[in-house]
Amino acid sequence: MSAMQNNDPNKKDTSKSESQNKDRSERIAKFLARAGIASRRDAEKLIESGRVKVNGTVLKTPAFKVSPRDKVSFDGALVRKDPPRLWRYHKPPGLMTTHKDPEGRPTVFDTLSKDMPRVISIGRLDMTSEGLLLLTNDGDLARALELPSTGWIRRYKARAYGTITQEDLDTLMDGIDIDGIPTGPIEAKLERQQRGNAWITVTIREGKNREVRRALDSLGLKVNRLIRTTYGPFQLGVLEKGQVEEVKNRILRDQVGHMVDIPKIEDTPGRAKLDQTKDRSKGKRGQSKDKTNRFGTNRKPQNAKAFGAKDSRSKPGNSKHKTQRPNGNRSGKRSSPSRGRK
């Protein structure tokens, strides 16, 4: 019987052995993080503020374990722990990446479909920034993907006011200091100079606070548009502004299964896309027109060896082009056996 069914949750129950607790229970902060309510650290603050109940009793301390039989509620709503899921979202400019803004400004989560479960963001984008934002219902997954130790790149397209040379941009490979903390190498490539603006592709691996803007600012540039196009193996692709698309369970397990336990579940039709926006980017065979596939990942992800990603192009029989035969015949027609032989 659960420790919560007969006793105050703020008192320890000694009726269970430690082995039973390890097998069936987990700390309340971890449970809330897994359910997508908040990170473990923020979950502890929610508990201390009295917003979490276990079996109808307000929990006063985060030093508590819950079992599968316990009923946990947050702000009066029952918390259910679903398998980890991940969504790609094209954030438009003008939205805050927060659940509640003290100034009442619109947030990312205000615009999401009611069909979606409660989700949290993996990292943030500034209010004026746009592009790829990953959303998940699992706090542990969010934490794992935010860590610089993953080695995942974050790639941006920046439009900045000013004139710059590639030689100047190359100096960012030495990194910069943000609040006294040095960053890792910042790769910046000048795409084009258009009148008074420069278009630059910037690649980072840590994602410190306003890192891209501060890096370009250190060179005398003023960023006036910033679009994130890549986060690890996941791509913005052809998602329209405001569109949300779920990463299929199979793809999620392939890409992050080594970081967080991702149980196998069946992908059902209509589950992957929850946004009302129509995707017009598909060709006749359902393939995207850009360099990403229909799952929003690279056809051959960077750091593929790091997370065991597979390159489908290496499978035999996938080539759509006719290959040149040894005798130089490009037409694809079979040559006569008597020709080209001595």
The angle that helices 139-146 and 249-256 make with each other, rounded to 10 degrees, is 50
**Residue 292 DSSP class:** B
Helix, strand or coil, per DSSP, at residue 267: coil
Paired tokens of 301 = 């992800």
Q: CA-CA distance, 59 to 51, in Å (whole number)?
A: 8
Helix, strand or coil, per DSSP, at residue 317: coil
Residue 340: how many other CB atoms lie within 10 Å: 12
Closest CA to 252 of 121, 154, 134: 134
Q: Which amino acid is at 209?
A: N
* Catalytic residue ranges: 126
What is the secondary structure of 179-215 as a DSSP string?
TTEE----EEEEEEEETTEEEEEEEESS--TTHHHHH
